C-alpha cells in the first residue's frame, strides 16, 4: 500500500506545484485588476501552507523510511523532496519579485502606500504608536524559550529578539494576527497607508524590553495537519476530534520559515530551543503568512473585478417544488444566483406535505442559512437526518459546532466511519405517501455552502425523477444503517454512480465503450473536467483509449498524473488548466456513445481517496437541453486561450497563443443570453 502511494507521490506533488505556479502567474498579469492580483498572491500563500501541512509530512516520513532499510524497495523516487523544495524556492522568489517590483509600485501609483520592509513613515507614526498601545498590546505574548519549554503554534507569527547577551538570551514576541487584523490602515489627504502589525510591534519593542535587541527577525512554524484517529475508536467521534484539533496546532513541525539575514549562531540557537531540528529550515521573506492579503483593507471597485450580475430564475409555478415536479432544473453557480438552493430547503421547512429531509454536509458555511432551515424544519415536526463529515480537513471545528446545534434541535446526526468520508453533495426531501409529488432531490458538484458558492463554479440538479429519488432513498437508507462503513452490499444502483459500489466499474465501462467504437472505425470521444486526476486504473484505461484512437479532452485544475502527447501512448489526449476569477470546481464526464451522449456530473475526482475511501455520488443528466448546456460550457472552456494553459508531457504549464476567448466571461454571457430562458421556459 505504501509503495503504491509513493508511486503516486512521485508525480502528484510536482503536478500540484505546477498548478500553484499557475496561480502565481495570474498575480503577475498586468491585465488582472490590482487588488485581485493581491488575492492571487494570498491564494498561492494559502495553498503552499496547506502543502506543507498535508503533503510534505508524507514525503518526510517516506524519506525517513528509506533511510531505515527500505531503500531496496525504491519506495521514493530519488531526489523528489529536494526537487520539490527547489520548485518552491523558485516560485517564492517569483512571488517576491511580483509583489515588490510590480504590485507595491502599482499600488503607490494609485495612492495606496503599502509599507513593506521600510520604516513607518513619520506622518503616521503617532497613529501606529497609538494603535500599538490601544489595541495590539492587549494580545501580545512574551516568551523566553530558554527559561520555559515552548512550542510555537501552527502558522502563528512571532518576532525573535536576540540580545547578544548570555544573560538575556532570546525572547519571542507573538504577532497576534489570529486575534486582530494583520493590517493597520489610515488615510492622510489622498494617500492610504497600510502597515503590517509586524512592523508596528517591531517599532515599539523598546516598550517591551529594557535592552535594545541586536537582531530582530520574524518566523513561523508549519505543522502536520493529520488527525490521528484510531481505527478502532468507538467513542464520541465529535469529542475525540475536538481533542485532536487542539493537539494539531502542536503536531510535527514540517517547516521552520524565517526572515533573511539571520546570523547562523542565532538561528541554530533558536532551532535548538524550539526543538525544530527535523523540520525543513527555509529562509523566506521578511514577512510570512501573506495569505492575509485576503483581508487587505483597501476596497476599490475600480481595482477589482467588475461585478457580474447573476442570472435569476423566473418561476412559472407558485413554488420551486412545483417547478421541479414539471421538469429538471440545472443551476450553474456563481453565474446563477444561489437563492434557489436556499429556497429548496426553505420550502421544505414550510411545505405541510414534507415529512422527511435527508442531506449530506461536508463543508458548512460559517453562518449557514441551510443549517438554520434544517433546524427550523425539525422544530416544525419534520424528520431531519443530516450526515455531517467531521473529517473535512480544516473545517472540522465548524462542522462540529453546527452538528451540536442541530442535534440539540432534534435533528438526527450521523457521522461517517473513521476510515470513510462522505463527500457526496446530495439531499432528498420525502413527502406524504399520497401527495402529488413523492420526493424531490438536489444533487450537486459542490458543497451546500452559500459562501464558497460565490467563487466556486459548480452545477446543481433539481429533479423529481423517480429513478434518481428512488436510488437516493436507497443510499440514504444504507448510510443510516448499522452496516455503514462495515460492509458494502451489492446495492442495485442503475442511474447514480456511487463510489464503493458502481462508480469505478461504470466509468471503466463507458471508456471501454468508446474504445470499442474507435476500434470499429466509429467516432469516439471523451471530455472530462476534474479538480484532480491520479487513480491508476482510470489513467491506464484513458491511455488505452488514446491508443485506440479515442479523442480525449481533459480539463484538470490541479493534480494530473496523465502525460499527454506522448507518441504511441497519449497523442490523442489534450489537457488544459483554467485559473481565473472563479475557482473551477465542478466535475463533468461526457462520453460520446455514438452520438447519444452520456453526461454525468458529481462530487468525485479521479483520485484514490475519492474512488476507494469515500462515499461519492455522480449523477446522470438525461434532459437533452440540459446536456447541451453542459456541452456548450465545456466547448468554451476547451477554446479558452486567455485564462487557460495547456499541460505538456512533463506536467508543465504551456501558454497558449494569445487569443480572444476567456471562458468564464463567455459562459456568463451565454447563460444570460440563453440558458436562463432555456431552463425555465
| Alpha carbon 96 to its chain's center | 24
343 is in an annotated binding site: no
* CA separation for the pair 408, 401 (Å, rounded): 11
Give me the residue label for grid cell 514576541: 173
Element (H, E) at 471: helix 466-480
Give the count of beta carbons closer than 10 Å to the beta carbon of residue 239: 10
Closest-CA residue to 197 (of 189, 188, 187, 186): 186
The CB-based long-range contact list for 535-541 (8 Å cut-off, 24+ gap) reads: 535/606, 535/607, 535/608, 535/610, 535/611, 536/4, 536/7, 536/8, 537/504, 537/508, 538/504, 538/507, 538/508, 538/511, 538/606, 538/611, 539/606, 541/508, 541/511, 541/512
* CA separation for the pair 592, 518 (Å, rounded): 11
Q: Which of 288, 336, 423, 459 is catalytic?
A: 423
The residues, any chain, with a CB within 8 Å of residue 433's CB and separated by 6 or more, are none
* CA separation for the pair 167, 170 (Å, rounded): 9
557 is in an annotated binding site: yes
Residue 44 near residue 23 (C-beta atoms within 8 A) = yes
585 is in an annotated binding site: yes
672 is catalytic: no
561 is in an annotated binding site: no
Residue 423 near residue 587 (C-beta atoms within 8 A) = no
130 is in an annotated binding site: no
577 is in an annotated binding site: no
SS3 content of the chain, % helix, strand, coil (to 5): 40, 20, 35
Q: Can you say which residues are annotated as belonging to the binding site for ATP?
A: 47, 456, 557, 585
Q: Can you say which residues are annotated as belonging to the binding site?
A: 47, 363, 393, 456, 557, 585
Residues involved in catalysis: 423
Q: Can you say which residues are annotated as belonging to the binding site for Mg(2+)?
A: 363, 393
Amino acid at each position: 500500500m505504501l509503495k503504491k502511494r509513493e508511486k503516486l507521490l512521485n508525480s502528484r506533488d510536482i503536478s500540484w506545484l505546477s498548478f500553484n505556479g499557475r496561480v502565481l502567474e495570474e498575480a503577475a498579469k498586468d491585465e488582472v485588476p490590482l487588488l485581485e492580483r493581491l488575492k492571487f498572491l494570498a491564494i498561492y500563500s494559502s495553498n503552499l501552507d496547506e502543502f506543507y501541512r498535508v503533503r510534505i509530512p508524507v514525503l518526510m516520513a517516506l524519506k525517513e523510511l528509506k533511510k531505515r532499510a527500505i531503500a531496496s524497495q525504491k519506495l521514493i523516487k530519488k531526489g523528489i523532496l529536494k526537487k520539490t523544495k527547489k520548485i518552491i524556492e523558485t516560485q517564492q522568489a517569483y512571488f517576491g519579485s511580483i509583489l515588490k517590483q510590480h504590485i507595491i509600485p502599482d499600488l503607490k501609483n494609485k495612492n495606496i502606500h503599502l509599507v513593506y520592509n521600510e520604516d513607518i513613515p513619520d506622518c503616521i507614526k503617532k497613529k501606529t504608536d497609538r494603535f500599538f498601545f490601544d489595541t495590539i498590546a492587549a494580545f501580545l505574548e512574551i516568551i523566553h524559550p530558554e527559561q520555559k519549554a515552548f512550542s510555537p503554534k501552527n502558522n502563528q507569527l512571532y518576532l525573535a529578539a536576540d540580545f547578544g547577551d548570555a544573560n538575556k538570551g532570546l525572547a519571542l514576541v507573538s504577532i497576534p494576527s489570529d486575534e486582530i487584523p494583520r493590517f493597520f490602515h489610515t488615510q492622510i489627504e489622498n494617500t492610504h497607508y497600510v502597515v503590517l502589525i509586524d512592523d508596528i510591534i517591531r517599532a515599539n519593542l523598546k516598550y517591551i524590553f529594557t535592552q535594545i535587541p541586536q537582531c530582530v527577525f520574524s518566523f513561523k512554524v508549519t505543522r502536520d495537519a493529520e488527525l490521528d484517529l484510531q481505527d478502532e475508536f468507538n467513542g464520541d467521534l465529535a469529542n475525540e476530534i475536538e481533542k485532536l484539533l487542539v493537539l494539531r496546532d502542536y503536531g510535527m513541525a514540517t517547516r521552520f520559515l524565517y526572515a533573511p539575514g539571520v546570523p547562523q549562531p542565532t538561528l541554530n540557537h533558536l532551532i535548538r530551543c524550539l526543538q525544530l531540528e527535523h523540520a525543513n529550515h527555509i529562509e523566506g521573506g521578511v514577512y510570512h503568512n501573506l495569505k492575509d492579503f485576503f483581508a487587505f483593507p483597501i476596497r476599490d471597485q475600480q481595482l477589482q473585478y467588475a461585478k457580474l450580475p447573476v442570472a435569476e430564475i423566473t418561476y412559472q409555478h407558485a413554488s420551486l417544488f412545483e417547478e421541479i415536479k414539471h421538469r429538471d432544473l440545472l443551476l450553474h453557480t456563481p453565474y446563477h444566483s444561489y437563492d434557489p438552493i436556499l429556497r429548496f430547503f426553505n420550502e421544505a421547512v414550510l411545505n405541510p406535505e414534507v415529512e422527511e429531509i435527508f442531506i449530506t454536509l461536508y463543508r458548512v458555511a460559517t453562518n449557514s442559512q441551510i443549517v438554520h432551515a434544517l433546524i427550523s424544519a425539525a422544530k416544525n415536526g419534520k424528520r431531519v437526518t443530516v450526515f455531517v463529515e467531521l473529517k473535512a480537513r480544516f473545517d472540522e471545528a465548524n462542522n462540529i459546532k453546527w452538528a451540536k446545534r442541530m442535534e440539540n434541535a432534534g435533528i438526527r446526526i450521523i457521522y461517517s466511519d473513521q476510515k470513510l468520508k462522505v463527500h457526496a453533495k446530495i439531499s432528498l426531501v420525502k413527502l406524504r405517501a399520497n401527495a402529488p409529488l413523492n420526493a424531490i432531490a438536489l444533487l450537486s458538484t459542490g458543497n451546500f455552502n452559500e459562501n464558497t458558492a460565490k467563487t466556486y463554479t459548480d452545477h446543481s440538479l433539481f429533479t423529481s425523477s423517480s429513478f434518481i429519488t428512488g436510488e437516493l432513498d436507497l443510499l440514504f437508507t444504507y448510510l443510516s444503517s448499522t452496516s455503514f462503513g462495515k460492509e458494502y452490499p451489492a446495492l442495485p444502483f442503475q442511474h447514480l454512480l456511487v463510489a464503493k459500489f458502481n462508480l469505478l466499474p461504470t466509468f471503466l465501462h463507458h471508456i471501454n465503450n468508446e474504445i470499442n467504437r474507435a476500434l470499429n472505425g466509429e467516432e469516439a470521444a471523451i471530455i472530462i473536467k476534474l479538480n484532480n486526476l491520479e487513480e491508476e486504473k482510470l489513467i491506464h484505461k484513458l491511455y488505452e483509449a488514446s491508443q485506440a484512437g479515442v479523442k480525449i479532452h481533459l480539463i484538470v485544475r490541479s493534480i494530473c498524473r496523465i502525460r499527454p502527447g506522448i507518441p504511441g501512448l497519449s497523442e490523442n489526449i489534450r489537457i488544459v488548466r483554467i485559473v481565473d476569477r472563479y475557482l473551477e470546481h465542478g466535475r463533468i464526464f461526457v462520453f460520446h456513445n455514438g452520438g447519444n451522449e452520456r453526461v454525468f456530473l458529481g462530487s468525485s475526482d479521479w483520485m484514490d481517496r475519492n474512488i476507494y475511501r469515500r462515499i461519492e455520488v455522480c449523477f446522470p443528466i438525461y434532459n437533452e437541453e440540459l446536456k447541451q448546456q453542459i456541452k456548450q460550457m465545456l466547448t468554451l472552456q476547451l477554446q479558452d486561450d486567455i485564462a487557460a494553459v495547456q499541460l505538456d508531457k512533463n506536467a508543465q504549464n504551456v501558454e497558449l497563443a494569445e487569443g480572444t476567448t476567456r471562458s468564464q466571461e463567455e459562459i456568463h454571457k451565454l447563460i444570460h443570453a440563453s440558458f436562463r430562458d432555456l431552463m425555465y421556459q
